[in-house]
């Protein structure tokens, strides 16, 4: 009824379809009285995914300590108690707001061809982001596309416009993205082991190593979302190759890196960015093999490439662990 704005009733052999054009505004308190940012919205309010998918927007109000906002709230509340109605100075009267809402509800905006293209493109982008492993409050389905349509039409009414324009669609998509709460994850530390230097006996003429110059692991930090995106791309590509491969399974590590850089070709604008992204994808693959145990390294029996890589491990085959299950 909430989606179709109609409800069908069958009673005593009579079937009737009634209008159900209404909006549902619901409020809920988090479990234990405090919102846990490390968990999803569904886990904080103990609400099932089917119920959540019926709502277009979700907004979380966090009671965080902020000196400026606390002062403004306290000042407003004391002024209302002290001055009553004189403390409130609205820009429009109640009658003007009612007249505006009454007129806006009479409009029936139509979606333009340009807005339709933006709707399709934004929905595809949301779906791709959801498939890339982003931890959202709920799965992106056709319900969210219908939500964008309803929000776009509502924005057109808000501006008293007879047409749904692309800017209304972009604003509706922004609302939807802001309401799809993401789980906060710490940045992923990608450790790069350094090769130990040969041991030397310290003589009187040699200086001791400076602080930080000893053989310790270097660390590169990337966001969890980027780590999930890279790992999901690599795992999906390897599984596709395993299904279609007729000879040896998997791909050489050097070929996987080259494939990933080819996918990111449009985002890399300089040689420095190319080198940095190459370094990051090497570290991600290393973590997937050594820490997460998602990938396995196998010795390759195929012919050697024309140009031997600097790192001998680039010749090893990468395959997805047979026990790995997508989240």
pLDDT tens digits, 192-240: 654 444 444 444 444 554 544 444 446 788 887 788 889 888 998 888 8
Distance, CA of 301 to CA of 304 (rounded, Å): 9
Determine contact, residues 190/287, Cβ cutoff 8 Å: yes
Strands 6-11, 14-19: parallel, antiparallel or unpaired by DSSP? antiparallel
- Alpha-carbon 168 to chain mean position: 22
Nearest to 253 by CA among 301, 193, 314: 314
Strands 295-298, 317-320: parallel, antiparallel or unpaired by DSSP? antiparallel
- Predicted local confidence at residue 52, as pLDDT: 79
Mark 173-183 as b/e (b = at least 16 C-beta within 10 Å): bebbeebbbeb
- Predicted local confidence at residue 36, as pLDDT: 77
- Predicted local confidence at residue 326, as pLDDT: 64
Distance, CA of 130 to CA of 182 (rounded, Å): 11
242-269 pLDDT tens trace: 877 666 677 888 889 999 998 888 888 8
CA angle 252, 254, 260 (to 5 degrees): 105
Share of the chain above pLDDT 70, in %: 80
Starting at the edge strand found earlier in the chain, the sheet holding 295-298 runs 251-252, 317-320, 295-298
Selected residue with higher pLDDT from 325 and 323: 323
18-55 pLDDT tens trace: 877 777 888 888 888 888 776 777 778 877 777 777 78
- The values of phi and psi at residue 23, to 5°, are -115, 140
- Predicted local confidence at residue 100, as pLDDT: 95
Mark 58-77 as b/e (b = at least 16 C-beta within 10 Å): beeeeeeeeeeeeeeeeeee
Above 90 in pLDDT, residue 303? no
- Predicted local confidence at residue 200, as pLDDT: 45
- Predicted local confidence at residue 198, as pLDDT: 45
- Alpha-carbon 139 to chain mean position: 11
The contacts of residue 286 (CB under 8 Å, 6+ apart) are: 190, 192
Task: Report CA-CA distances (Å) from 271 to 14, 190, 239, 276.
Answer: 72, 22, 30, 9
Above 90 in pLDDT, residue 297? no
Strands 251-252, 295-298: parallel, antiparallel or unpaired by DSSP? unpaired
Rounded mean pLDDT, 163-180: 87
Rounded mean pLDDT, 62-67: 78
- Predicted local confidence at residue 197, as pLDDT: 44
- The values of phi and psi at residue 127, to 5°, are -65, -40
- Predicted local confidence at residue 118, as pLDDT: 93
- Predicted local confidence at residue 203, as pLDDT: 46
Distance, CA of 235 to CA of 327 (rounded, Å): 12
Above 90 in pLDDT, residue 109? yes
Banded model confidence at residue 133, pLDDT cuts 50, 70, 90: low
Rounded mean pLDDT, 133-144: 66
Rounded mean pLDDT, 65-77: 86
Determine contact, residues 185/134, Cβ cutoff 8 Å: no
> Three-class SS of residue 164?
strand
- Predicted local confidence at residue 243, as pLDDT: 77
- Predicted local confidence at residue 201, as pLDDT: 45
- Predicted local confidence at residue 44, as pLDDT: 82
Distance, CA of 223 to CA of 231 (rounded, Å): 12
- Predicted local confidence at residue 306, as pLDDT: 61
CA dihedral 165, 167, 168, 172 (to 10 degrees): 140
The length of the chain, given as a count of residues: 327
């Amino acid at each position: 009824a909430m989606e179709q704005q109609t409800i069908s009733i069958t009673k005593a052999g009579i079937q009737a379809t009634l209008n159900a054009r209404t909006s549902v505004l619901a409020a809920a308190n988090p479990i234990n009285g405090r919102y846990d940012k490390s968990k999803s919205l569904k886990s904080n309010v103990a609400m099932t995914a089917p119920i959540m998918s019926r709502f277009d927007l979700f907004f979380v109000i966090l009671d965080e300590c902020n000196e400026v906002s606390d002062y403004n709230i306290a000042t407003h509340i004391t002024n209302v108690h002290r001055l009553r109605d004189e403390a409130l100075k609205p820009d429009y009267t109640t009658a003007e707001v009612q007249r505006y809402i009454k007129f806006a509800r009479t409009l029936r905006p139509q979606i333009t061809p340009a807005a339709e293209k933006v709707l399709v493109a934004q929905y595809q982008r949301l779906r791709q982001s959801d498939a890339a492993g982003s931890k959202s409050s709920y799965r992106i389905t056709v319900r969210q596309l219908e939500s964008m349509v309803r929000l776009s039409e509502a924005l057109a009414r808000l501006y008293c416009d007879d047409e749904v324009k692309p800017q209304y669609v972009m604003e509706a998509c922004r609302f939807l993205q802001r309401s799809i709460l993401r789980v906060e994850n710490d940045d992923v530390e990608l450790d790069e082991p350094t090769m130990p230097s040969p041991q030397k006996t310290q003589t009187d003429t040699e200086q001791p190593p400076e602080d930080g110059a000893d053989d310790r692991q270097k660390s590169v930090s990337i966001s969890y979302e980027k780590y999930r995106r890279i790992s999901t791309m690599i795992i999906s590509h390897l599984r596709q190759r395993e299904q279609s491969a007729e000879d040896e399974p998997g791909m050489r590590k050097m070929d996987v890196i080259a494939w990933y850089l080819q996918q990111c070709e449009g985002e890399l604008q300089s040689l420095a960015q190319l080198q940095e992204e190459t370094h990051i994808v090497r570290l991600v693959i290393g973590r997937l093999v050594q820490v997460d145990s998602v990938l396995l390294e196998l010795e390759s029996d195929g012919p050697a490439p024309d140009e031997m890589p600097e790192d001998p491990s680039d010749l090893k085959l990468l395959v997805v662990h047979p026990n790995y299950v997508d989240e």
